[in-house]
Structure 1
Amino acid sequence: MPSPCDPKYAPVGDVSAALLMMDSQLKAIYDESETESEAASEARTDAEQRRLTKQFAASLGPEGIDALLDGACTLIYMFMQWLRAACEDHDEDIVEYVVPTLVSSMRMMPKTFRPEVIPTMAGLVIAAATGLSPNLWRSQYGRWTDAELNALEATTILLAERINRITDDHDFATRLITQALSDH
């Protein structure tokens, strides 16, 4: 019996916009981490990125925001599928490999991940790891909360950064998605 959270039923959303936001955040993190102390870099990046993100989100309108959220969930799904394949190549369990380190990273960033959103973000990742659509899984619990929006974006960044670290290539995760988009 097919699950109502099967990815074939999920809206893809605006993957390009979600990818643009994720990629710009990663580039800012990589650029600033190479040139500044971590604390100063984080403070400046956070303030500037929040301003730019709010400005970008305001330009999208309500339907655009929903499409962006769906696009971010699609990124999470695609990243987790890549990570699942990488784990299977090494006889590792995807949930065991990704979730504990992801949750510990989230716990180290209390401004981005308020404690009450960590289970939701972990749930999105676990849903994707088990072949379910993260956005359909999340929609069972109602509308996105304001606290979850920033955490959703950060979750995509953490997964992309994990992939980039595994491949030792700062642009691999972005190319992975760009190639998948150009193939379809």
Structure 2
Amino acid sequence: MPPSCDPQHAPAGDVGAALMMIDSRLQGIYDAKAESGPEQRAVIDRFVASLGREEAEDVRDGTCTLIYMFMTWLRRAYEDHDKDVIEVVVPNLVATMRRMPKSVRPEAIPTMAGLLVAAATGLSPSLWRNQYGSWSDHELTPLDATALLLAEHINRITDDSDFATRMISDALTGAGAD
């Protein structure tokens, strides 16, 4: 019998580090004119390279937590408009990932779509994925891309380039106060 995919059983991971990486990439996209893009990317690359195995797994789990939180927010937002988040968001993100072959290998797309559906239905993305074995190296960049695309989608529909980051930061601050 597979373990429960209930989010209460999932490790939250290092959500702060995962959010920092996603926010940094978002700012690089939004501020494309800035010359800090390559410097910013180098800082993130050095940070990732400095992580030990356990720390990297914590950031991976944190990224899954972000995906869960983003999809939960999107599900509620779309339900308020009588729309299904799976019907609206998943095909859009899959189509975008298909246009990113250097970052998202085609064989990783079904897994990322599964993570989105798992999160949209209230399951932990990390526990859902763990049912199928260890994460492969070629899934990690697509995982980051999935979280980035979700954050950008949220920012676009709210017309606020900092909304997704602020939403998670506020949730982390509230959790820390408890």
Structure-1 residue corresponding to 2:89: 98
CA RMSD of aligned residues (A): 2.0
- Distance 1:149-1:101 versus aligned 2 partners, 3 A rule: same
Residue by residue over 1:27-69, the C-alpha shift from the partner in whole angstroms, topping out at 9 and shown as x without a partner, is: 001100xx38xxxx9xx958973x4443212212011001000
Please list, as runs of the form range in 1=range in 2, the aligned pairs for 1:173-184 lying within 5 A after superposition: 173-184=164-175
Structure-1 residue corresponding to 2:20 = 20
How far is 1:141 from its partner? 1.5
Query: Does 2:61 match 1:108?
Result: no
1:164 aligns with 2:164: no
Distance 2:45 2:152 in 1: 22
Higher alpha-carbon deviation: 5-14 or 141-150: 141-150
Distance 1:29 1:113, change over 3 A: same
Q: TM-score, normalised by structure 1?
A: 0.89
The CA distance in 2 between the partners of 1:4 and 1:46, in whole Å, is 41
Counterparts of 1:91 and 1:103, CA distance in 2:
22
Q: Which has the higher helix share?
A: 1
User: 2:131 & 2:29 partners in 1: Cα distance?
Assistant: 33
How far apart, CA to CA, are the structure 2 residues paired with 1:55 and 1:109?
Answer: 23
Tell me the CA shift for residue 108 of structure 1: 0.6
User: What residue ranges of structure 2 are gaps of 5+ in the alignment?
Assistant: none
Tell me the equivalent position of 2:4. 4
Instruction: Output the CA distance in 2 between the equivalents of 1:52 and 1:178.
Output: 21
Measure the CA separation in 2 of the matches of 1:71 and 1:63.
Answer: 12
Residue 122 (structure 1) aligns with = 113
Structure 1, unmatched stretches of 5+, are: none
Which stretches of structure 1, 4 residues or longer, exceed 2 Å deviation after superposition? Answer: 44-49, 51-54
Cα displacement string for residues 124-172 of structure 1 (whole angstroms, at most 9, x for unaligned residues) = 1110000000000011122211111111111100000000000000000
Quote the Cα distance in structure 2 between the aligned partners of 1:94 and 1:66: 28
The separation in 1 between residues aligned to 2:152 and 2:97, in whole angstroms, is: 13
Q: Structure 1: how far apart are the matches of 2:135 and 2:73? A: 26
Residue 4 of structure 2 aligns to which amino acid in structure 1? P
- In 1, distance between residues paired with 2:49 and 2:106? 26
Pick the aligned partner of 1:154 from 136, 139, 145: 145
Give the length in aligned residue pairs.
174
